[in-house]
Amino acid sequence: MKNVVLTGTTIADGSATITSTEAGVTGYVEKIVYDYTDTATSSDFTFTAVEAGVNVPVMTITNAATGDTVWYPRTLANKVTDAAAFANWADKIFVTDSTFKVVIAGGGATKTAKFIVYLSDE
């Protein structure tokens, strides 16, 4: 199990873009831990893994609550024949040689945010 820590501070309008210092991360996203400090209740978080310059969606949270929490992001599997998503089959998200990023909106002025992304090899 490995982890990537994302920590940053919002600017006056309540926004922030936090990029991990760890690069080249590969594995299955197991969970994202929100280590709450003081962001606003109305905070929105958009998590992506940047692979070769492409933003791969991991998870979006709207109107996050205040308090520590854990999320388990998953993606719907796709059919081989037409790439339509299965409605009842979700898989862990696999990232390759990635850097993680979270964009915060509505987080409140000069508030601190900390997230930990946990990844596994299987």
Task: Specify whether the CB–CB gap between 38 and 62 falls below 8 A.
Answer: no
Which residues have CB under 8 Å from 31's CB, separation 6+? 70, 71, 72, 73, 117, 118
User: For residue 111, what pLDDT is reported?
Assistant: 95
How large a percentage of the chain has pLDDT more than 70? 100
Second CATH level (architecture) for the domain 2-120: Sandwich (2.60)
Q: What is the pTM of this model?
A: 0.90
User: How does DSSP classify residue 66?
Assistant: S
Q: What's the chain's average pLDDT?
A: 93
At 50-88, the pLDDT tens digits run: 999 999 999 999 999 889 999 999 998 888 788 887 878
CB 113 within 8 A of CB 40: no
114 vs 13: CA distance, rounded Å: 18
Could you report the per-residue pLDDT of 9-38, keeping only the tens digit for each? 999 999 999 999 988 999 999 999 999 999
| Per-residue CA distances from 113 to 45, 53, 59, 95 (Å) | 10, 24, 16, 23
Sequence length of the chain is: 122
